[in-house]
Structure 1
Amino acid sequence: MKAVIRLQLMLIGVYSVKLSCDGREDGAQCYGALGGAVDLMLVDNVSEIPRFNWRKNSSTILRWRNSTVYNTKESRFLFFPSNGTVRISNLIRTDSGEYKLELNDKDGKKTGRRTLQLYVQAPMSSVQLVSECLSQGQMKVSCLSEGGDSPQYSWTLDGHILTDSELLSRNYENNIIVLRQNISGHLICSVTNQVSYSFNQMNISGCGLSHLLILGLRATVVILPLTGMSLYFTWRRKKCEKADDSAVSQIIEDLDNSVLMIEMKSPTQ
């Protein structure tokens, strides 16, 4: 016997992670939220750098020449000389990729080179919790997230990570947990990726014996009328069949009596 129970949801949260990245180290890995913005720090003191080019693949995005920046791409790319940071706004999927910074002296001689990898991810939207009491008193809880790339799930009960004494099983692929009998408390499912954080929470009271009795009574309320209706129609069918048999027997008896009457009258003629 199973019953799906949607417990009262107390609070739902969806948060975006502050997106900035230090790209001064060669090989830096940075993340941006799809549709959002990211700040990438490229250099320490731009006043000490006569020239640099910032490229993605073979396309030049920014040029710095003698304290002047030349933006060769669309206006979504802005460079702030005060802190050596470039901001990319309204991020799209194709902004993902490898970016190269080439540093030059005033004569154009190369003095350094660095790369960074940018990953654009869709942020999480919302999280839904659905619980279900199983026949043996365990509670099955599903954490369902909408949208978002590369989600990572985590569970806590009353502020601590679920223990083996509380958790019977967990499906990491579908993110479904099964709690042991009579587990209660404040349950939270958190979903994160590199650009956002989302969660949902509920108070659970377990699926103990009393709950199973209630489910059994509810099932009985449904089953008994159905059983009664089945018995009634069976009785009616048998009654009709018995009545039909009686009618046939009466007809045969009447026919027999008629034949006898004819035989009794024949000798007198």
Structure 2
Amino acid sequence: MEAVVGLLVMLLGVSHGVETYCDGRQDGAQCYGALGGTVVLQLMDNASEIFKYQWYKNKTTIILHGRKDTIVYNMMKDRSVFTPSNGTFKINNLSRTDGAEYTLHIFDSNAYDLGQRTLQLSIQAPVSSVLLDSECLSQGEMRVSCSSEGADSPQYSWTLDGHTLTDAQLLSGNKETNNITLKQDVSGRLVCSVRNHISSVSKEEKISTCGFIFINCTLPDGTNISQWVFSANNTLCIDPTTTPTMITDTTSFNVDNSLLVCGLRAAVVLSLLVGIAIYFAWKKKKYNEVETSTRPRIKDHPENSFSMVEL
């Protein structure tokens, strides 16, 4: 299985060129190497000043044996290089089996052991890629998950607009885990960083709020409403930033508006009818006056009548 993993790492090229350094001159040093990569271990200052030295793996298997500038034996010579002048041991194409405890023994010319130092070498697969996935929850919160490929012992960290996430911005989760839930009003440039001891990769995503607003209002019946609601469907408060009045029922408004229009139309029709009636009454009066003025007048005295004159 380890061979398959190592082959995949090399094929993908995720660890190609990854080189780490560790100072093993201090007893108990903890060193890390990238799977498929290279590690440079500082075992001593200058091997030419040491009469004899031996380097063991897990206290039983001898890896390196030398005398001053002369390398007597190197079990890993096909993929390692020891440089006596600076005391560094470089291992290429690291595999899982290279992870172990290594012990250096130093001897004087009388074969007396002058002391020993140990170091622990751990092999980790580097972070190859990072994926971010976000989704809006029912109350406007945003759940964000960060996943990494290939990394051994990954550690996560989050920043928003260049600053570490605070507890005030998190609804749940820890800013050092791969799953967090952001509060409803959080937006900006969100970055998830995944790292281990031999690599680090970050992924950035621009996030915005899920369209929710916080309302705080009191209804006419005295009921207080204080909650997050979806802005586009909000029918509870007109202005969620202040104590608002209720939105008028649109059905009643339409009915009242229709009655008003009908009333105005009836008033116009009635005005027209009254106007027409007044016009015709005036017309009739004028006609009667004209007719009376053109009719021949009969004198009151009979002696002045036409009959009397004829006789």
Quote the residue 2:54 is aligned against.
53
Q: Please give the residue correspondences for 1:242-253 in structure 2 after superposition, counting only pairs within 5 Å.
A: none
Structure 2 CA distance, aligned partners of 1:70 and 1:168?
63
User: Unaligned regions of 5+ residues in structure 1, if any?
Assistant: 1-13, 217-269
Q: Are residues 1:108 and 2:111 paired? A: yes
Q: Deviations over 1:93-112 (max 9, x none)?
A: 11111101000112322112
Structure 2 CA distance, aligned partners of 1:170 and 1:148?
21
Q: Please give the residue correspondences for 1:185-204 in structure 2 after superposition, counting only pairs within 5 Å.
A: 185-204=188-207
Quote the residue 1:180 is aligned against.
183
Q: Deviations over 1:128-164 (max 9, x none)?
A: 0011011111111110111111111110101111112
Task: Please tell me whether the aligned partners of residues 21 and 41 of structure 1 are also in contact (alpha carbons under 8 angstroms).
Answer: yes
Structure 1 CA distance, aligned partners of 2:182 and 2:56?
52
Shift of 1:56: 0.6
Q: Please give the residue correspondences for 1:1-269 in structure 2 after superposition, counting only pairs within 5 Å.
A: 18-57=19-58, 58-74=60-76, 75-170=78-173, 175-209=178-212, 212=230
Q: What SS does structure 2 have at the residue aligned with 1:26?
A: coil
TM-score under structure 2 normalisation?
A: 0.61
Task: Please tell me whether the aligned partners of residues 121 and 149 of structure 1 are also in contact (alpha carbons under 8 angstroms).
Answer: yes
Task: Please tell me whether the aligned partners of residues 156 and 176 of structure 2 are also in contact (alpha carbons under 8 angstroms).
Answer: no
Taking a change above 3 Å as real, the CA distance of residues 20 and 183 of structure 1, as seen in their structure-2 partners, is same
Quote the residue 2:268 is aligned against.
none
Structure 2 CA distance, aligned partners of 1:102 and 1:22?
16
Q: What SS does structure 2 have at the residue aligned with 1:90?
A: coil
User: Bigger CA drift: 63-72 or 171-180?
Assistant: 171-180
The one-letter amino acid paired with 2:106 is L
Task: Please tell me whether the aligned partners of residues 40 and 91 of structure 2 are also in contact (alpha carbons under 8 angstroms).
Answer: yes
Task: Please tell me whether the aligned partners of residues 69 and 85 of structure 2 are also in contact (alpha carbons under 8 angstroms).
Answer: no
Q: What SS does structure 2 have at the residue aligned with 1:19?
A: strand
The one-letter amino acid paired with 1:164 is D
The one-letter amino acid paired with 1:185 is G
User: Unaligned regions of 5+ residues in structure 2, if any?
Assistant: 1-13, 214-228, 235-311
Task: Please tell me whether the aligned partners of residues 53 and 101 of structure 1 are also in contact (alpha carbons under 8 angstroms).
Answer: yes
Taking a change above 3 Å as real, the CA distance of residues 43 and 134 of structure 1, as seen in their structure-2 partners, is same
Taking a change above 3 Å as real, the CA distance of residues 17 and 181 of structure 1, as seen in their structure-2 partners, is farther
Asked which structure has the greater RCO (Cα within 8 Å, sep 6+), the reply is 1
Cα RMSD over matched residues? Answer: 2.5
| Corresponding pairs, count | 203
Same amino acid, percent of matched pairs: 55
Structure 1 CA distance, aligned partners of 2:155 and 2:233?
35
Structure 2 CA distance, aligned partners of 1:173 and 1:45?
42
Taking a change above 3 Å as real, the CA distance of residues 176 and 214 of structure 1, as seen in their structure-2 partners, is farther
Task: Please tell me whether the aligned partners of residues 182 and 208 of structure 1 are also in contact (alpha carbons under 8 angstroms).
Answer: no
Task: Please tell me whether the aligned partners of residues 156 and 195 of structure 2 are also in contact (alpha carbons under 8 angstroms).
Answer: yes
The one-letter amino acid paired with 1:23 is G
Structure 2 CA distance, aligned partners of 1:205 and 1:199?
19
Structure 2 CA distance, aligned partners of 1:18 and 1:215?
56
Structure 1 CA distance, aligned partners of 2:207 and 2:196?
27
Taking a change above 3 Å as real, the CA distance of residues 164 and 142 of structure 1, as seen in their structure-2 partners, is same
Structure 1 CA distance, aligned partners of 2:230 and 2:158?
25
Q: What SS does structure 2 have at the residue aligned with 1:144?
A: strand
Quote the residue 1:256 is aligned against.
none
